Each structure stands twice: as C-alpha cells, then as structure tokens.
C-alpha cells in the first residue's frame, strides 16, 4: 500500500524536499529544462509512507502537484537520499548505479532534471570570474 | 587478432576469449564477458570428458559473432579427431552460444560435456589495477538456471545461465550427459544474460529488436559508396564503415539511436572528445552519429561546480562509466568532466552538423547547451585570467592531469624536455575556442536571432586570434608553441598540434606557410604522417605514446586544416601516407603507430599497446577522403574540389548525404609530368 503524501504549504513547511520543488515552480523559466517537456513523478520513500510528487515541465516552466497524473518518467528513491541530492551531498547518477535510485521511462527527462541539483557545498571553481558562484546556482 | 584473443561485441557488451572460446581470467587478465564496465563472466570453460579442446580455426563472422571449430585433446602435434565441436557465439544482452558436437565414428559415443562458469564481477578499472572486491558473492540454482550473483549494499549484479537441453546444474557450472549416435550430432544452446539489478528497470527493452546482421547490412547500405582504381582504398573504406558500426554505442537515453564510443573493447562508452571528433570525421558519411552525440552530450552537460567530477556549468563530459567503482565514487566517472576541449568542440560540431544537414531544429533546440558551452570558455576555462583556455584538475586523486587529447604525463614539454606546471594552456585549445566563437556567432545570427551575441562572439574571436598569434608564436623558429606555462612562458617544442590550429582557422594568413613548412619537414613528417612530437625535441621517441608516434586521427584533422588554408598538395601527401599505412593494418588503422622514418622501416610499426579499432582512427580515412575530394558545404550546395594523391588514380564517392539530398563526387589525380 502506498499513501499519497499530504499537500505541503511551501511557506510554512520545514521540508527541504518540498521547498526544493516549490522553489522550482516559483522561479521563472529554467534554461536547464528549456528543451525537455513531460511529467516526471518522484516516489519518495519515507518509512512506510511514499510521497508522490508530480512535476510537469514545459518550456522551462515547472508545475508541482500531488495529484495523480500520467507520468513520462518515474524516479523511486528514499526521501532522505533525495534530500541529500537537493543539498549537493548525493550524486544522482552514482545513486542510480548503486541501485538506490531507480529511474524508469523517459530518461532524458530524468537526466535533465538531475542537472538542477546543486554541487557539493565545498566545491569551488578555479580562479576566474566563475569562482565567485561557488557551488549553488 | 595478434594477441590470440577473440573478441565479439555489441555496444558496451563484449566477450574476450581465447581461440577455443574459453575464458579463464585472473584478476588482471582482460578476458571475460563484460557489460556496462563490469565483468559478468571470468570463467567459461568447455570440456568434453574432462578434456580441454583444441582450436582448429576461428571465424569472425561479424563483429558481434564468432565461430570456433574445435577438437578434443590438447598439446600434441597429432590430434585424433573422432569428434568435432563447434561453438557459435553471438553477443547481445550477454551472449548466446550454440554448441554442436559431431560424432565421426560409426559407433555411438557417451560423453560428459561440461561448462564451468563463474564471475568475479570486477569493475573494468579493477581489471586494470587488480583491486580487492568489497561485496559478497552468492551463486544459486533457480528455475533451471545457474545464477551467479554479487552484492554490495544495494548494488547488485548477476549473470543468468541457462541451456536448452537437460543439464545437471551445480554452482560452478552445467554438465550435460550426452549420447551421440554413429555419425550423429548433439546440439544445445546456452544463454548468458547480464542483470544490472535495480538499474534493469531503466534500460531499454531490447526484445524483438531486428537482427544484428540485418542492422549491419542496413548501416553499410546507407553509407555512400566508394569506387576507386585503388583496391586497397576501397577495402580500407569498407572496413571503416563496418568498424564504425561496431563502435556504435546506444546510451539508454538515446532511445535506440547511437553515437560513436571511443574504442574496442575497453572504451565502449561515451567520451566527449572521441565521440565529437569521430562524429566530425563521419559527418559526410553518417550524419546521424553527430545528431545523437549532440543530443546525449547536451543532456549530460555540466550544470554545477563539483570538484570530484571536475564539473562546471556548461562543461561537456569527458567520460561516462557504469561500474562498481563509479557507483561507490571511488572513481569520478558518473560522468567525469575533466576535458578542456570537448566543450568548445561541442559548438564546432553543432555548427558543422547544421552546415552539412540543414537540421536547424537541432540547432534551435540545443541553443541553451551551445550558449552554456560558449559561456564555459570565458567563465570557467580561463583559469589564469589571461583570456586563454587552460586546465588544471580539481580532483587531485582520481582526476585527469592532462585534459587535452595528448593526455599522457610527458606529452607537453619544452624543447629541452622539461615539463611545465599547471595550469597549462595548450595551443590547440585556443584554436578550438576561437573556432567555437566564430561558429557560435554564425549560429546566433542565423538561428537564435541574437545579432548582439553574435557580434560579441566575433569580437572575442578576433581578439583571441590577435593575441594568440603574438603570444604563442615562437619567433626564432617560426611556429606556434605547444602551450603557455603558468608564467605565460612559451612551452616551445615543435608538435603536431600546430596542424590543428590550421583546422581551427586561428592562424594568421602570413604565418600559415611557415607552419606548413614545419608540418611537412623531416622533423615532423615521417613519410607516413605527422609525428606527435618532432624529431630533435628533448623527449622525442618514435614509439613514445604522444612524443613521436603518428596518430591517424591527428593527421586527418591536420589534412583538413591544410585544405582550409589552400595547401591541397600537402593535404594529399598526408592522406597518401596514412591511407597507405592503413593497408598494412588490413584497413583498420590503430590509434597510433611508430614515428620511424618511412624509408627506414618500409612498413608502419604498430605502437605496442594501441587499442584497435579505435573510433577516431576508424574515422580518419573518412575525413581524409573528404580532404582529398575537397568536400565543403557552401549554402545549400556541396562544393567538390579534388586534389588527390598521385597514387590514388581516380575515385568516386556516390550518394553523399546532406542538405542537398544525395550527391556524387569525383576526383582524378594529376599524373606526374
């Protein structure tokens, strides 16, 4: 049995995963998603619970919802691990190779989406104009 | 197969065995069944009545299929062949092996046929370095199959072995009790399937796909046909087309399309640099390779700063790997981004692809990727703030020290043989960056409707060219330094890299003749091709990997560069040398061969450990054909301006695909007066 996670109010929730998703929805068109479209479902396992998140991507815009919909790709992983990805502690591709993150469906959508995760907080670009940016975009 | 090994492969799955078809790998021995950079079988040995078999012959039917003819008994001069054993092996999702035993006697025989099977599930990196495994092995018998299993935490890999005839299965193999009537035969089919654990869900379903033989036929049929008075040239061309088919790799996200992997068998994966160069070489022949390369590398383009992977926003990946060491981050290949040339070359390929095919949709769809790549050049690659692209790894443990194509430790040296520190700004990187800006400007103006950005790129390109022609020019010798060191001092050895500069167009017209003179001098030109490092330089060694050998890929780019500056005859001489060398390798050019002078050895001396076939060596004859025929897309037309080597006689390339539909090109060499 899976339970659909409750709708989280982005303003009050201390949930970093919800925050990550809602921030995506709030910000303008994301160039990293400019040339993909479709619905991506995340099944995030949290103990007995499974949270379903639907992200519909179109022209770089992201809409977030918990409502059931047809998904072009599904990513299943532990919520704690996903949280690590949103914080730059866990690399999604390495997690997939270890079998702790299971993608299926339209993989271009999944690969494009993982580009939104930040790099490790300790990573710094070399000297030059890029270095000021640090790891977060 | 000079090493006595037999290889069959499909994509990134391959089997390396001895001539009997047996696999007996040790920790460091590169035989086995490999898939996704993991060894799924390290032992696969056939015995009949406890006896090993003796090979009579091996047929490489196709790159994905081999047939072994065997008889019982080993080691003696005389083989009493009352039995014949035939193994036909075809790769695809593991492999399929058809085993047939013929009884030549006029009485029945009772045999015990046995296949020993086991796997060490070694990562390719472990096979090279002989490292210890951290997980546990568990073999089991399940639903009539032998399952070899390996697990480390959530990482699971398994090999599933089954047969069509009844077998006694134990955890070390399968035994068949066999009775064969007089002059009769016994046959079974063995199926070996690789299992990637949870990752299986992500992999494309390959059941019901068209047969590989048909796929190969279609591929060869689609390529332009070459007619020539030179039989060896036709053979080399055919070989290149078939080898390119073998080198195709379909990443899971390419939905069945393929791009060129780097080389067989150890480099059957995406490499930014190799996939881009090979796509460029093959553009006039198989433009679809370039499209897939652009799409897949674009999807994986770097987006964040990650020191372990040497990733930056906009950077194009260097290498992707799927094995256990990558999964557990002992290696950074998930993917690894430490290459300084793949990113500008990505833009170069995109522009060249559009010029050939007219596929403006791809150029518009991937505008964000092209822009991010162009941005990377200025924002992240200028490590010294001097306006030049340079490289220095941030992953000091497992990252790559040399992030240009000459990636060995001693490839970049001063005339006296000493090595510069890091960062290093090698000359060809500046050429690629220049070309990327010039081509990016064309794309911006024509397809992205951004004349302002185009103007900015053009100005940057002009500025880079001006500064480069001052900063890298070794005045007293009349060529470009291979690099600038950390003090901005010239790393002044004479190298083949100056030929790439012609290809990129960064060389001022007034300096071109001097560059060409050096390229064709006895110091650089061996008679077969241009050496990586000139004779007379401190580190020159005719069999040194990047310090004196001749690289066919390198030479194909140089020939293209010579054509760009109007040096047709010199381009033809290089084509003549490399295509001539190809004959000695049955049309399959190795990655590199010895830099000995041609008149000294008469034939090209193979570099000891060069991997073969290698994608950009396989692509070299194709680009050389383009260079001697002078094929250049101009507007909606293909311009043909042949300048053939004398030896070539005449040649005809029929049905060249492009924005013009299909076109034929014809060339005849001028006879010597």
- C-alpha dist (Å) from residue A98 to B149, B425, B653: 15, 37, 48
Taking a C-beta distance cutoff of 8 angstroms, is the pair B89, B13 a contact? no
**What is the enclosing helix (H) or strand (E) of B94?**
none
**Residue B490: closest CA among B426, B581, B428:** B426
Grade residue A6 by pLDDT with cuts at 50, 70 and 90.
Answer: very low
The reported pLDDT for the residue numbered B606 is: 79
What residue in B sits closest to A73 (Cα-Cα)? B202
> What pTM does this model have?
0.94
**Residue B3: closest CA among B245, B242, B265:** B265
- Flag whether residue B203 sits within 8 Å of chain A, measured between CB atoms: no
Q: Is position A8 within any domain?
A: no
> Which of A104, A126, A137 to mutate to probe the B interface, most B CBs <10 Å?
A126
> Which of B149, B157, B304 to mutate to probe the A interface, most A CBs <10 Å?
B304
- Assigned fold of B6-202: Beta-galactosidase; Chain A, domain 5 (2.70.98)
- Flag whether residue A122 sits within 8 Å of chain B, measured between CB atoms: yes
* pLDDT digits 0-9 by tens, A25-43: 998 899 899 889 999 999 9
The reported pLDDT for the residue numbered B263 is: 87
**A73/A103 Cα distance (integer angstroms):** 7
> Which of A125, A127, A132 to mutate to probe the B interface, most B CBs <10 Å?
A125
DSSP state of B261: -
Mark yes or no for CB contact A102/B201 under 8 Å.
yes
Residues of A with Cβ-Cβ distance to B385 under 8 angstroms = 127-128
Q: Is position A101 within any domain?
A: yes
**Token pair 């690289």: residue:** B551
Residues of A with Cβ-Cβ distance to B311 under 8 angstroms = 119
Taking a C-beta distance cutoff of 8 angstroms, is the pair B516, B562 a contact? yes
Mark yes or no for CB contact A94/B308 under 8 Å.
no
**B320/B270 Cα distance (integer angstroms):** 6
Of B300, B313, B378, the CB nearest to A111: B300
Grade residue A130 by pLDDT with cuts at 50, 70 and 90.
Answer: very low
**Residue B100: closest CA among B6, B184, B16, B175:** B184
Q: Which tokens go with B223?
A: 């390529």
**What is the enclosing helix (H) or strand (E) of B660?**
none
**B513/B565 Cα distance (integer angstroms):** 9
Q: What CATH number is associated with residue A65?
A: 3.30.1050.10
Q: How many CB atoms lie within 10 A of CB B143?
A: 7
Residues of B with Cβ-Cβ distance to A123 under 8 angstroms = 304-308, 394
Residues of B with Cβ-Cβ distance to A120 under 8 angstroms = 306-308
The reported pLDDT for the residue numbered A129 is: 44
* pLDDT digits 0-9 by tens, B372-419: 999 999 999 999 999 999 999 999 999 999 999 999 999 999 999 999
Taking a C-beta distance cutoff of 8 angstroms, is the pair B356, B282 a contact? no
The reported pLDDT for the residue numbered B11 is: 84
SS3 B598: helix
What is the CB-side half-sphere exposure of residue B422 using CA atoms within 13 A?
14
Of A93, A110, A123, the CB nearest to B334: A93
User: Residue B520 class from Cβ within 10 Å (0-12 exposed, 13-18 middle, 19+ buried)?
Assistant: middle
Q: How many contacts does A have with B, using Cβ atoms within 8 A?
A: 124
**B110/B177 Cα distance (integer angstroms):** 8
Question: Virtual CA dihedral for B71, B73, B79, B82, nearest 10 degrees?
Answer: -50
Taking a C-beta distance cutoff of 8 angstroms, is the pair B579, B226 a contact? no
Q: Is position A1 within any domain?
A: no
Q: Which tokens go with B67?
A: 């047939």
Q: What sections of B251-366 are H helices per DSSP?
A: 272-282, 287-299, 324-327, 342-357, 360-365
- The nearest CA of chain A is from the CA of B113 a distance in Å of 37
| Edge-to-edge strands, sheet with B38-41 | B6-10, B13-17, B32-35, B38-41
In B472-546, beta strands by DSSP E = 473-474, 479-480, 483-484, 490-491
What residue in B sits closest to A124 (Cα-Cα)? B305
- Flag whether residue B332 sits within 8 Å of chain A, measured between CB atoms: no
Q: How many domains does the structure of chain A reveal?
A: 1
The reported pLDDT for the residue numbered B69 is: 96
Q: How many CB atoms lie within 10 A of CB B198?
A: 18
Mark yes or no for CB contact B306/A119 under 8 Å.
yes
- The nearest CA of chain A is from the CA of B156 a distance in Å of 7
Q: Across-strand partners of B295?
A: none
| Edge-to-edge strands, sheet with B185-195 | B53-62, B65-72, B83-91, B95-103, B185-195, B155-163, B145-152, B136-142
Q: Across-strand partners of B54?
A: B71
> Which of A119, A124, A134 to mutate to probe the B interface, most B CBs <10 Å?
A119
Q: Is position A61 within any domain?
A: yes
What is the CB-side half-sphere exposure of residue B619 using CA atoms within 13 A?
31
Grade residue A1 by pLDDT with cuts at 50, 70 and 90.
Answer: very low
In B2-64, beta strands by DSSP E = 6-10, 13-17, 23-24, 32-35, 38-41, 43-48, 53-62
Mark yes or no for CB contact B394/A126 under 8 Å.
yes
Q: How many CB atoms lie within 10 A of CB B42?
A: 24
What residue in A sits closest to B332 (Cα-Cα)? A94
DSSP state of B415: T
Q: Is position A6 within any domain?
A: no
Of B307, B324, B365, the CB nearest to A123: B307
Of B155, B201, B309, the CB nearest to A98: B155
Enumerate helices (H) and strands (E) in chain B, giving the number of each: 18, 29
The reported pLDDT for the residue numbered A65 is: 94
Residues of B with Cβ-Cβ distance to A91 under 8 angstroms = 306, 309, 329, 334
**B240/A13 Cα distance (integer angstroms):** 60
What ipTM, to 2 d.p.? 0.93
Q: Which tokens go with A115?
A: 């580009």
What residue in A sits closest to B298 (Cα-Cα)? A112
The reported pLDDT for the residue numbered A132 is: 42
**What is the enclosing helix (H) or strand (E) of A15?**
none
Owning domain of residue A86: 16-116
Q: How many CB atoms lie within 10 A of CB A9?
A: 10
B351: left (phi over 0), alpha (psi -120 to 50) or beta: alpha
**Token pair 């029945």: residue:** B108
Q: Which tokens go with B115?
A: 């296949």
Mark yes or no for CB contact B378/A34 under 8 Å.
no
The reported pLDDT for the residue numbered A131 is: 42
Q: How many CB atoms lie within 10 A of CB A59?
A: 11
The reported pLDDT for the residue numbered B608 is: 64
Q: How many CB atoms lie within 10 A of CB A12?
A: 7
Residues of A with Cβ-Cβ distance to B153 under 8 angstroms = 98
**B269/B364 Cα distance (integer angstroms):** 27
**B27/B24 Cα distance (integer angstroms):** 10
- C-alpha dist (Å) from residue A57 to A31, A60, B7: 12, 6, 44
**A54/A62 Cα distance (integer angstroms):** 10
The reported pLDDT for the residue numbered A4 is: 43
Phi, psi at B43, each rounded to 5°: -140, 130
**B644/B572 Cα distance (integer angstroms):** 6
Residues of A with Cβ-Cβ distance to B309 under 8 angstroms = 91
Residues of B with Cβ-Cβ distance to A108 under 8 angstroms = 253, 255, 299
User: Which parts of chain B have pLDDT scores under 50?
Assistant: 1-2, 673
SS3 B527: coil
Q: Which tokens go with B375?
A: 């941005």
- Flag whether residue A63 sits within 8 Å of chain B, measured between CB atoms: no
**Token pair 């087309």: residue:** B241
Q: Across-strand partners of B160?
A: B147, B193
**A105/A107 Cα distance (integer angstroms):** 6
Q: What sections of B247-323 are H helices per DSSP?
A: 272-282, 287-299
Q: Is position A121 within any domain?
A: no
DSSP state of B533: B
- Flag whether residue A28 sits within 8 Å of chain B, measured between CB atoms: no
> Which of A75, A97, A123, A128 to mutate to probe the B interface, most B CBs <10 Å?
A97
Mark yes or no for CB contact A137/B313 under 8 Å.
yes
Does position A116 have pLDDT exceeding 80, yes or no? Answer: yes
**Residue B672: closest CA among B642, B641, B647:** B647
């Amino acid at each position: 049995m899976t339970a659909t996670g409750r709708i989280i109010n982005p303003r009050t929730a201390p949930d970093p995963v919800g925050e990550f998703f809602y921030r995506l929805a709030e910000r303008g068109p994301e160039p990293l998603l400019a040339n993909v479209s479709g619905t991506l479902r995340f099944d995030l396992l949290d103990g007995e619970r499974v949270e379903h998140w639907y992200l519909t991507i179109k022209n770089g815009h992201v809409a977030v919802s918990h409502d059931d919909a047809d998904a072009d790709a599904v990513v299943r992983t532990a919520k704690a691990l996903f949280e690590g990805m949103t914080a730059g502690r866990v690399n999604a591709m390495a997690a997939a190779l270890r079998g702790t993150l299971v993608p299926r469906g339209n993989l271009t959508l999944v690969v494009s989406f993982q580009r939104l995760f930040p790099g490790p907080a300790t990573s710094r670009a070399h000297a030059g104009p890029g270095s000021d940016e640090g790891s977060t975009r | 197969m000079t090493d006595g090994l037999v290889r069959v492969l499909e994509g990134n799955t391959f089997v390396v065995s001895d001539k009997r078809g047996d696999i007996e790998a040790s920790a460091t021995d590169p035989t086995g069944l490999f898939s996704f950079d993991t060894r799924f079988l390290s032992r696969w040995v056939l015995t009949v009545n406890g006896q090993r078999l003796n090979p009579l012959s091996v047929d490489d039917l196709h790159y994905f299929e081999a047939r072994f003819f065997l008889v019982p008994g080993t080691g003696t001069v005389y083989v009493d062949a009352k039995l014949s054993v035939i193994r036909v092996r075809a790769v695809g999702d593991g492999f399929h092996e058809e085993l047939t035993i013929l009884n030549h006697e006029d009485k029945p025989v009772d045999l015990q046929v046995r296949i020993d099977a086991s796997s060490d599930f070694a990562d390719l990196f472990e096979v090279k370095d002989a490292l210890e495994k951290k997980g546990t092995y568990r073999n089991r018998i399940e639903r009539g199959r032998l399952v070899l299993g390996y697990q480390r935490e959530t990482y699971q890999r398994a090999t599933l072995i089954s047969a069509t005839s009844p077998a006694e299965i134990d955890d070390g193999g399968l035994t068949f009790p066999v009775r064969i009537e007089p002059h009769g035969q016994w046959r079974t089919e063995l199926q070996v399937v690789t299992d990637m654990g949870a990752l299986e869900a992500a992999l494309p379903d390959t059941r019901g796909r068209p047969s590989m033989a048909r796929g190969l036929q279609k591929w060869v049929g689609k390529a332009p046909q070459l007619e020539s008075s030179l039989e060896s040239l036709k053979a080399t061309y055919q070989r290149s087309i078939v080898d390119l088919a073998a080198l195709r790799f379909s990443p899971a996200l390419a939905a069945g399309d393929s791009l060129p992997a780097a080389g067989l068998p150890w480099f059957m994966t995406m490499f930014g640099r190799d996939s881009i160069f090979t796509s460029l070489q093959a553009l006039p022949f198989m433009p679809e390779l370039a499209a897939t390369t652009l799409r897949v590398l674009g999807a994986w383009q770097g987006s964040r700063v990650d020191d372990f992977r040497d990733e930056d926003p906009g950077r194009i990946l260097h290498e992707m790997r799927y094995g256990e060491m990558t999964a557990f981050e002992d290696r950074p290949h998930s993917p690894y981004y430490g290459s300084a040339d793949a990113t500008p070359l990505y833009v170069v390929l995109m522009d060249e692809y559009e010029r050939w095919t007219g596929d403006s949709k791809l150029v518009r769809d991937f505008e964000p990727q092209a822009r991010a790549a162009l941005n990377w050049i200025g924002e992240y690659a200028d490590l010294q703030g001097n306006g030049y692209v340079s490289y220095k790894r941030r992953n000091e443990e497992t990252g790559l020290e040399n992030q240009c194509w000459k990636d060995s430790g001693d490839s970049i040296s001063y005339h006296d043989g000493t090595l510069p520190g890091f960062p290093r700004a090698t000359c060809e990187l500046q050429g690629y960056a220049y070309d990327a800006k010039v081509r990016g400007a064309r794309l911006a103006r024509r397809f992205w409707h951004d004349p302002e950005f185009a103007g900015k790129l053009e100005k940057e390109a002009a500025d880079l060219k001006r500064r480069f022609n001052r900063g890298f020019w070794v005045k007293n010798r009349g060529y470009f330094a291979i690099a600038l060191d950390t003090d901005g001092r010239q790393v002044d050895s004479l190298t083949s890299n100056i030929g790439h500069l012609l290809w990129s167009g960064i060389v001022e017209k007034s300096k071109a003749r001097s560059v060409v003179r050096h390229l064709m001098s006895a110091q650089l030109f061996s008679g077969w091709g241009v050496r990586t490092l000139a004779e007379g330089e401190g580190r020159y060694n005719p069999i040194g990997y990047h310090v004196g050998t001749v690289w066919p890929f390198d030479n194909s780019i140089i020939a293209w560069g010579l054509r760009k500056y109007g040096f047709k005859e010199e381009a033809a001489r290089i084509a003549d040398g490399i295509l001539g060398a190809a004959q000695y390798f049955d049309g399959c050019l190795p990655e590199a061969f010895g830099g000995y002078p041609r008149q000294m050895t008469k034939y090209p001396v193979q570099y000891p450990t060069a991997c073969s076939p290698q994608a950009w060596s396989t692509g070299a004859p194709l680009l050389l054909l383009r260079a001697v025929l002078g094929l250049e897309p101009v507007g909606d037309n293909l311009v043909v301006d042949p300048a053939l080597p004398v030896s070539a006689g005449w040649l005809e390339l029929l049905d060249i695909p492009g924005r013009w539909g299909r076109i034929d090109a014809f060339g005849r060499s001028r006879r010597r007066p």
